[in-house]
Amino acid sequence: MAHEQSNGANRAVDLSHHLNLKIRSRHPSPLKDIIRLMSMEGMVSLAGLPHPSLFPVHTTSVTSSDPSASTEIELKLSNDQKIPLSAFFQYGTGAGNAQLREWARDFTQLIHQPAYQDFNILLHPGNTNAWGKVVGLLCEEGDYILCESYTYPSAQAYWIPQKNYAAPIAMDGQGIRDHILEETLKAWDTTHPGVRRPHVLYLVSVGSNQAGVTMGPERRRKVYDVCVKYDIIIVEDDPYSFIQYPEQFLSSLAPSFLKYDYQGRVIRLESFSKTLAPGLRLGYFIANSMLAERLLRATEVETQDPPGLSQAVVLSLLQNWGMDGYLTWLQNLRLEYQKRRDWMIDAFAQHFRLVGASETPQLETADGLVALMGDVPVFSFVPPTGGMFIWAKFHLSQNPAFKKMQFDGTVDDPEQAFAGSLWARFAEELVLLTPGSYYHPWQGQDKITTKARGAEPETTHFRFSFSMTTKEEMALGISRLARVVRLSWEV
Amino acid sequence: MAHEQSNGANRAVDLSHHLNLKIRSRHPSPLKDIIRLMSMEGMVSLAGLPHPSLFPVHTTSVTSSDPSASTEIELKLSNDQKIPLSAFFQYGTGAGNAQLREWARDFTQLIHQPAYQDFNILLHPGNTNAWGKVVGLLCEEGDYILCESYTYPSAQAYWIPQKNYAAPIAMDGQGIRDHILEETLKAWDTTHPGVRRPHVLYLVSVGSNQAGVTMGPERRRKVYDVCVKYDIIIVEDDPYSFIQYPEQFLSSLAPSFLKYDYQGRVIRLESFSKTLAPGLRLGYFIANSMLAERLLRATEVETQDPPGLSQAVVLSLLQNWGMDGYLTWLQNLRLEYQKRRDWMIDAFAQHFRLVGASETPQLETADGLVALMGDVPVFSFVPPTGGMFIWAKFHLSQNPAFKKMQFDGTVDDPEQAFAGSLWARFAEELVLLTPGSYYHPWQGQDKITTKARGAEPETTHFRFSFSMTTKEEMALGISRLARVVRLSWEV
């Protein structure tokens, strides 16, 4: 296979047939064009921008953690610097600050080692907006989008009103299964006569937003090969890349799809939301030049440059820390979240008996650990190797209230109805979980019940986030949850 | 007429039939829903956000101008405050900071005095993005959008690939003419059989981005009445409201359409780009509750909250300055831009003889002042009463090169071809103007020549911005321009 010989000397292949019809007709914003001419030596520009002397903010100082979060450092931004602060307060060209893009390029080269040369960096105001731009770049109304069997709700909330549908691919502990992906695509014309075969795969392949599952190298290579065979663009939405919990930090992180991408068919969405702060509204695209240019056209008319202060502060911070400093920061960050994950599992262990799934052969579909109350299995989960979440499958077969609801046959979807009432009971007892139903891929109005979706009967999911709470709060929350469970399961 | 009796006690009428089909099907983002529950007293949230203790920035200090731009003031943002800085770095609900929205509501009430009660405020990341959201809110493919006879290029750049078209309305020195608007709408079904009558009017009605024209109260009232009669939503894109040059600052500013809006059919786009700084990427919508709720749904999935640091700094600045201080700032700002406008007109006067249009009866369509070189009229303009631009109409009838081009008949559109070469000559001589062609409303591929657009023959426009340059640079720029003119017009 070509990519096995790849040494990064490859160039992107022509993928322009993937472009949405509307994005093809986007021309450079004429005003942005002029912004480039403005910087010509000696030019008197009467083409107009607000005058920077009339911006009220003159300096910005920030106290920040050092990379090891042990002391504070001071960052000073002013108009006396090489790039004056006022430049960050002015209109820009849409692509974002050049130095920050240069940093992102170096970081990408160092960490992800893309298998082709001519990749490009374009800043964006957060992955939510970036995903919207990608849908606008690639998808037409009616298109199906390949995704994980549970997928990120906000991504879907964008595409559902666009009349896009999910084509979910079954997962295991390594993420989506390549042979299921291949079978889905191979059989598409038979299973979906008259519907365009999906050409976009949306993945949160590290610590995925619901399942906490991370896709390893071998699986990635296989998925990539299927995508080459069926001409799929892979959109790698990867805010959790550095919130992984491997033995060795850098050397054993799951690689990006970029590492296998000898054709330039990966669009990677990088975000500073999880590594620095969400309120920055700052991240960047990594994509082949043709796609990046089209995304820039969309950026000019949809959002313009990402926020200037965010760019200025992040650039200053990264320059101060240096590349090694940033990696130290990321290493500490994932240790912090790993500690929180362990607190959560400890809290489970205080109220439930945790046993390996192999010890509960009656639960055929349980993976990882099963949480028992008395002898009753309540939920099972795979301890996450990345991200901020535990994805728990609740087993309802021994819950009397659920069984009654199922037996009565008065509701269409007893799993969903029961999950809703259980979630509300938790919330009444002041413990807030995220319902698994938020993550059901939207396949159309006729596939909304558990049965119609082909989902596993007598189960439902809840997502536990371990990112926000202290150890004491977690213990309190899980004790409240255990009380609700005890009453509901009558044990 | 109802609005003449209006005292602000009116409520918005039902305008939901204007909604785009896609926006009707936007549901609240499920995750945003949960963010609201998170803040319930005593709740242990396992629903997940990044932990604020792991955000690297702890304090931000800003030195800023005081309202009179005479001294510097220091603003300190930290986690010890009532709203901790970390809250601005966290994910939000989409609507933006509540205090900033409260400020915007008070400011709107004070300055614009809307003629209905139940208006709403929603923060947005700049008017470029806000306009895109409004197109998504109201327009379907194929819709015509009512606009000024020259309109803002970036607004058009958004709508053209959506297959929307401009329905330009002729202007005079007060902006679009109400009876032309009415005639256009009345005759629509005859002039555009089978095409939906426009239901959205896009206006930059103060210091409009090209013509520098400001619409006065009486015209606004009449335009509003036509919009009621023909059920039009008015989108008031108004970044220059406070860059007006009246005798008395507050008392004689042109009112917003909100003042006449007793039905809630105005969506006002407010921006801090021109009053504070563009790089903040911050502004707000003022709209009736129904429209604001739909815009919030779009915000949740398209952009999320505006940038946190921008919100924090702007809120802190506005709180420090107070409402009076902000008005003082705005007053000074417009004096600064007024000074620059006068520099520009002075620079014209150094190289051209400026006479009243009535003194050049041969130029039937010249308004305001005419710039003559020798006895040859070169361009005419109305000294702007707002904004940052002089919109100059160049008169080509005495230009030998143009006449030759016109006579030869070798080009389709001699006005446009000549304007392009003149613009390039200016740029070669290092003076950069904005071509008027950028502002031509897009009416479809068959209406791109001067003739097909029905534009005035033997004229073309350039836009001079007086915002950015010093007095000396302006003088230099206009002397370069005069040299090119002298050669080109052979005077």
Q: What is the mean pLDDT of chain B?
A: 92
The predicted structure's pLDDT at residue B8: 55
Identify all chain A residues contacting B479, using CB atoms and an 8 Å cutoff: none
Q: Give the residue-averaged pLDDT of A352-375.
A: 91
Q: Give the residue-averaged pLDDT of A284-297.
A: 97
Read off the amino acid at residue B53.
S
Identify all chain B residues contacting A310, using CB atoms and an 8 Å cutoff: 307, 309-310
CB contact under 8 A, B51 and A467: yes
Say if residue A5's pLDDT is above 60: no
The predicted structure's pLDDT at residue A255: 93
Say if residue A33's pLDDT is above 80: no
CB contact under 8 A, B25 and A303: no
Nearest to A349 by CA among A482, A464, A488: A482
Q: Give the residue-averaged pLDDT of A393-417.
A: 95
The string of pLDDT tens digits covering residues A333-349 is 999 999 999 999 999 99
Say if residue A466's pLDDT is above 60: yes
Nearest CA in chain B to A50: B467
The predicted structure's pLDDT at residue B469: 82
The string of pLDDT tens digits covering residues B10-54 is 999 999 999 999 999 888 766 666 777 887 888 888 887 899 999
Q: Are A327 and A250 in contact (CB under 8 A)?
A: yes
Q: Give the residue-averaged pLDDT of B193-213.
A: 87
Cα–Cα distance measured from residue A287 to residue A304, given in angstroms and rounded to the nearest whole number:
18
For chain A, the C-alpha Rg in angstroms (whole number) is 24
CB contact under 8 A, B43 and A308: no
B369: its two tokens: 């002042």
How does residue A1 score in pLDDT terms, banded at 50, 70 and 90? Answer: very low
Strands B44-45 and B72-77: unpaired
Say if residue A2's pLDDT is above 60: no
How does residue B213 score in pLDDT terms, banded at 50, 70 and 90? Answer: confident
Q: Are B354 and B370 in contact (CB under 8 A)?
A: yes
Cα–Cα distance measured from residue B298 to residue B446, given in angstroms and rounded to the nearest whole number:
34
B interface test, pick of A19, A23, A46 with most B CB neighbours within 10 Å? A46
The predicted structure's pLDDT at residue A3: 46
How does residue A468 score in pLDDT terms, banded at 50, 70 and 90? Answer: confident
Identify all chain B residues contacting A51, using CB atoms and an 8 Å cutoff: 336, 340, 467-468
- Does B325 contact A at CB distance below 8 Å? no
The string of pLDDT tens digits covering residues A46-95 is 887 899 999 999 999 999 999 999 999 999 999 998 889 999 999 988 99
CB contact under 8 A, A128 and B304: yes
Say if residue B412's pLDDT is above 80: yes
The predicted structure's pLDDT at residue B1: 42
How does residue A32 score in pLDDT terms, banded at 50, 70 and 90? Answer: low
Please state the ipTM of this predicted complex. 0.93
Say if residue A205's pLDDT is above 90: no
CB contact under 8 A, B59 and A62: yes
Which of B58, B88, B280 shows the shortest C-beta gap to A64? Answer: B58
CA distance B21 to chain A (A): 9
How does residue B163 score in pLDDT terms, banded at 50, 70 and 90? Answer: very high
- Does B161 contact A at CB distance below 8 Å? yes
CB contact under 8 A, B432 and A276: no
Cα–Cα distance measured from residue A307 to residue B272, given in angstroms and rounded to the nearest whole number:
13
The predicted structure's pLDDT at residue A209: 61
The predicted structure's pLDDT at residue A8: 55
- Does A389 contact B at CB distance below 8 Å? yes
The predicted structure's pLDDT at residue B363: 85
CA distance B202 to chain A (A): 16
Cα–Cα distance measured from residue A391 to residue A344, given in angstroms and rounded to the nearest whole number:
12
Dihedral sign for Cα atoms in the order A40, A42, A46, A49: positive
Share of chain A above pLDDT 70, in %: 97
- Does B411 contact A at CB distance below 8 Å? no
DSSP state of B305: S
The predicted structure's pLDDT at residue A309: 97
Say if residue A210's pLDDT is above 70: no
CA distance B96 to chain A (A): 11
CA distance A85 to chain B (A): 10
Alpha carbon B464 to its chain centroid, in Å, reads: 17
The string of pLDDT tens digits covering residues A95-141 is 999 999 999 999 999 999 999 999 999 999 999 999 999 999 999 99
The string of pLDDT tens digits covering residues B279-312 is 999 999 999 999 999 999 999 999 999 999 999 9
The string of pLDDT tens digits covering residues B324-356 is 999 999 999 999 999 999 999 999 999 999 999
Read off the amino acid at residue A326.
Y
Cα–Cα distance measured from residue B394 to residue B405, given in angstroms and rounded to the nearest whole number:
16
Cα–Cα distance measured from residue A261 to residue A6, given in angstroms and rounded to the nearest whole number:
9
List phi, psi (to 5°) of B386: -170, 165
In B423-452, the residues whose Cβ lies within 8 Å of chain A are: 427, 430-435, 438
The string of pLDDT tens digits covering residues B447-477 is 889 999 989 999 999 999 999 888 999 999 9
CB contact under 8 A, A474 and B44: yes
Cβ neighbour number for residue A301 with a 10 Å cutoff: 26
Share of chain A above pLDDT 90, in %: 76
H helix count then E strand count, chain B: 15, 19
Q: Are A173 and A218 in contact (CB under 8 A)?
A: no
CA distance A116 to chain B (A): 30
CB contact under 8 A, A469 and B44: yes
The predicted structure's pLDDT at residue B3: 47
Nearest to A238 by CA among A291, A262, A211, A274: A274
Q: Give the residue-averaged pLDDT of B372-400.
A: 94
Q: Are B415 and B396 in contact (CB under 8 A)?
A: yes
Among A101-110, B190-199, B361-370, the range scoring the smallest mean pLDDT is B361-370
- Does A328 contact B at CB distance below 8 Å? no
- Does A38 contact B at CB distance below 8 Å? yes
Q: What is the mean pLDDT of chain A?
A: 92
Say if residue B203's pLDDT is above 80: yes
SS3 annotation, chain A: CHHHHCCCCECCCCCHHHCCHHHHCCCCCHHHHHHHHHCCCCCEECCCCCCHHHCCEEEEEEEEECCCCCCEEEEEECCCCCCCHHHHHCCCCCCCCHHHHHHHHHHHHHHCCCCECCEEEEEECCHHHHHHHHHHHHCCCCCEEEEECCCCHHHHHHHHHHCCEEEEECEECCEECHHHHHHHHHCHHHHCCCCCCCCEEEECCCCCCCCCCCCCHHHHHHHHHHHHHCCCEEEEECCCCCCECCCCCCCCCCCCHHHHCCCCCEEEEEECCCCCCHHHCCEEEEEEHHHHHHHHHHHHHHCCCCCHHHHHHHHHHHHHHHHHHHHHHHHHHHHHHHHHHHHHHHHHHHHCEEEEHHHCCCCCCCCCEEEEECCEEEEEECCCCECCEEEEEEECCCCHHHHHHHHHCCCCCHHHHHHHHHHHHHHHCCEECEEHHHHCCCCCHHHCCCCCCCCCCCEEEEEEECCCCCHHHHHHHHHHHHHHHHHHHCC
Which of A61, A91, A473 shows the shortest C-beta gap to B278? Answer: A91
Domains plus CATH for chain A? 93-295 (3.40.640.10), 352-489 (3.90.1150.10)
Nearest CA in chain B to A163: B22
- Does B476 contact A at CB distance below 8 Å? yes
Which of A58, A307, A468 shows the shortest C-beta gap to B64? Answer: A58
A interface test, pick of B40, B44, B345, B476 with most A CB neighbours within 10 Å? B44
Identify all chain B residues contacting A162, using CB atoms and an 8 Å cutoff: 22
The predicted structure's pLDDT at residue B2: 44
